[in-house]
Amino acid sequence: MKSKIYIALVSILLIVSCDDFLDQDPITEPLTEIVFTNQEVVQRLIPGAYQPMRWEFVPTFGDSYAMTYIYSDVRSDDVIIENTFNQPHSHEFEIPSILTTTNVNVALIWSKFFTGIARANQIIGGLSTVDETVIPDKELFIAESRFLRAFYYFEAVKNFGEVPLFTETTDVGVIDNIKRKPITEVYAQINSDFRAAIELLPESWEMPTGTQEPSETYRATRGAAQGLLAKAYLYQENWDSAAYFAQEVINSGVYALEENYADNWVLSNEHGIESLFEIAFFNDPSGGSWNAGAQGSLTAQFFFPPFDAPVTGWSYNLTTPELHQAFLDENDLVRLDATILTAGHEFGSQILADQGNDPVTQEFIDSSPAISGGQYGTGFSYALKYFITPEQVQDETTDFVLSPLNHKVLRYSEILLILAEATLNGATGDGQGAFDQVRARAGLPSKPLTLESLKLERRLELATEWNRYYDLLRWGDAASEIEDFVPGREYLPIPQDEIELVGPDTDGSDILTQNIGY
């Protein structure tokens, strides 16, 4: 692990796009004297700290994938992987009893989080001794990097539990810092970083009208930091703080619910009024989806139905009959139509219409090998929130797998549901009103806010958006709701290669310990 972390610390230099910087003679001066005394260069380093969020396939560990849904929704009762034979290492995530410590996906997921942490730390450390007269935006850059460090640590603690806690670039060489820290200690750092980010991040990164500069809407805002901090406090069961920061987002007046629920996943409405934070994807023919520099999303390829070209998906990932039935039982047809492909769904695509698939027919759904009585039986279908039309494939990409559609990390509707859940647990606020707003947008009547109604509402509102597994864990419902769930294996294993790279402590025990159950 030490060698990999050191590589991660310097790898940020590889993504700097300033030609003058890359053309310099070999570097022999201290890093801070070369990089962190130039405002423009630091500005160009920032995207590199966001980049690991987009890692979906990186061949470093073999045929390894790190799409967020693999380590979240696939582990829940909402999504399955129908690729047992093609990618058994991905299939292991829905059957915890067979998940191994040498799984190549787990290795990439670990690397994804800690590369992001290392890059954020590099910027924070590099700027710490630089005067603001040299880097006028020093404090803003540090605040943004602390947001990113908190984001990656939040993902790490949700998936691995206790993890090493690095806040300085020099930490990686100290044995005590490599040792995994208690979850409460990791969350304390997450809270601190998000709070610091709130103080300095802007309300918006919208570019001035007429500017020739590229959009910076992918960057973290004050609302994103407030919202993710509210969510982090929810996971810590700090109900008062969760409600407070959710209310801060609501009171800001910056965000609102989209009038049409499905508009949240329209390519032309990225960073819309409901979105607090998104993982931004761009069409990048030079990198594509097959290396660590990926700019496009491979998630679409895994979820898409097997239409004819140019949108022939692998249909590896399917929604479950239980999720479909949950929508029907609540008569929630608005969100069902935006989440799961059902007969009669309209895409507004002439190309699909010419193929006989717009509106989609029941015959098409039933004819899919993955659905029509295969190893999983009937009742499964396709998720829609990552779908782009064939016309958009042709207009926006050079290859289908380079989907430019962003992934929503946090929406305003979840902020309302965070407030609702916090008030259920004693916090102050109009939880019922917040709850009713979410239901009203879906065309559903008010109902009493209870823990059970809140659980259902989160499932339907946030379906296939990477929340269900963690919700079931924190509610204590995982064992009763997830088939094949193994108590004691709630977290992913620590990659065995990392444990061996770090080596033993002076007493012979592993410095980097394994999660229980593996």
Closest CA to 14 of 279, 293, 295, 294: 293
Lowest mean pLDDT among 257-271, 381-395, 442-456: 381-395
The CATH number assigned to the domain holding 152 equals: 1.25.40.890
The CA-atom distances, in angstroms, between 441 and each of 262, 335, 432, 457, 476 are: 11, 10, 14, 12, 29
Q: How confident is the model at residue 22 (pLDDT cuts 50, 70, 90)?
A: very low
Whether 18 and 130 share a structural domain: yes
Q: What is the mean pLDDT of residues 108-116?
A: 96
Residue, of 86 and 228, whose pLDDT is higher: 228
The per-residue pLDDT for 304 is 83
Please, are residues 414 and 231 in contact by the beta-carbon 8 Å criterion? yes
**Looking up tokens 């849904």, which residue turns up?**
69
Q: What is the mean pLDDT of residues 180-208?
A: 93
The per-residue pLDDT for 45 is 87
Please, are residues 57 and 298 in contact by the beta-carbon 8 Å criterion? yes
Whether 37 and 176 share a structural domain: yes
Per-residue pLDDT at 26 exceeds 50: no
Percent of the chain whose predicted confidence (pLDDT) is above 90: 65
Closest CA to 370 of 3, 5, 74, 80: 80
The per-residue pLDDT for 375 is 52
Per-residue pLDDT at 369 exceeds 80: no
Q: What is the mean pLDDT of residues 105-126?
A: 95
Q: How confident is the model at residue 370 (pLDDT cuts 50, 70, 90)?
A: low
User: Is the residue at 6 inside a domain?
Assistant: yes
Q: What is the mean pLDDT of residues 242-264?
A: 98
Please, are residues 116 and 52 in contact by the beta-carbon 8 Å criterion? yes
How crowded is the C-beta side of 431, counted as CA atoms within 13 Å? Answer: 24
Predicted confidence (pLDDT) per residue in 304-317, tens digit: 888 887 777 777 88
Separation CA 67–CA 339 (nearest Å): 18
Q: What is the pTM of this model?
A: 0.91
Whether 191 and 335 share a structural domain: no
Per-residue pLDDT at 60 exceeds 90: no
Predicted confidence (pLDDT) per residue in 80-95, tens digit: 987 666 678 888 998 8
- Phi, psi at 189, each rounded to 5°: -70, -40
**Domain endpoint, select from 389, 405, 421:** 405
Please, are residues 426 and 239 in contact by the beta-carbon 8 Å criterion? yes
Burial class of residue 43 in the structure, from the number of CB atoms within 10 Å of its CB (0-12 exposed, 13-18 middle, 19+ buried): middle
User: Is the residue at 10 inside a domain?
Assistant: yes
Secondary structure class of 340 (helix, strand, coil): strand
Q: How many helices (H) and strands (E) does the chain have?
A: 23, 4
User: Is the residue at 96 inside a domain?
Assistant: yes
Per-residue pLDDT at 342 exceeds 80: yes
User: Is the residue at 161 inside a domain?
Assistant: yes
Per-residue pLDDT at 47 exceeds 80: yes
- 166 is in which domain, residue-wise? 2-200
**Domain endpoint, select from 166, 181, 200:** 200
User: Is the residue at 434 inside a domain?
Assistant: no
Whether 35 and 159 share a structural domain: yes
Whether 184 and 315 share a structural domain: no
For the chain, the residue count is 518
Question: What is the total count of domains within the chain?
Answer: 2
Q: Does residue 310 have a cis bond before it (omega within 30 degrees)?
A: yes
Closest CA to 155 of 202, 123, 120, 125: 120
Per-residue pLDDT at 332 exceeds 80: yes
The per-residue pLDDT for 296 is 80
The per-residue pLDDT for 28 is 32
User: Is the residue at 44 inside a domain?
Assistant: yes
Pairing relation of β-strands 79-81 and 275-279?
A: unpaired
Predicted confidence (pLDDT) per residue in 388-409, tens digit: 998 888 887 766 667 889 999 9
Separation CA 18–CA 338 (nearest Å): 41
User: Is the residue at 504 inside a domain?
Assistant: no
The per-residue pLDDT for 295 is 65
Please, are residues 99 and 489 in contact by the beta-carbon 8 Å criterion? yes
Query: To the nearest whole number, what is the mean pLDDT of the chain?
Result: 87
The helix (H) or strand (E) run that includes residue 481 is helix 478-481
Q: What is the mean pLDDT of residues 184-196?
A: 98
User: Is the residue at 495 inside a domain?
Assistant: no
DSSP-derived secondary structure for 19-52: HHHHTSPPP-S-HHHHTTT-HHHHHHHHHHHHGG
Separation CA 120–CA 134 (nearest Å): 20
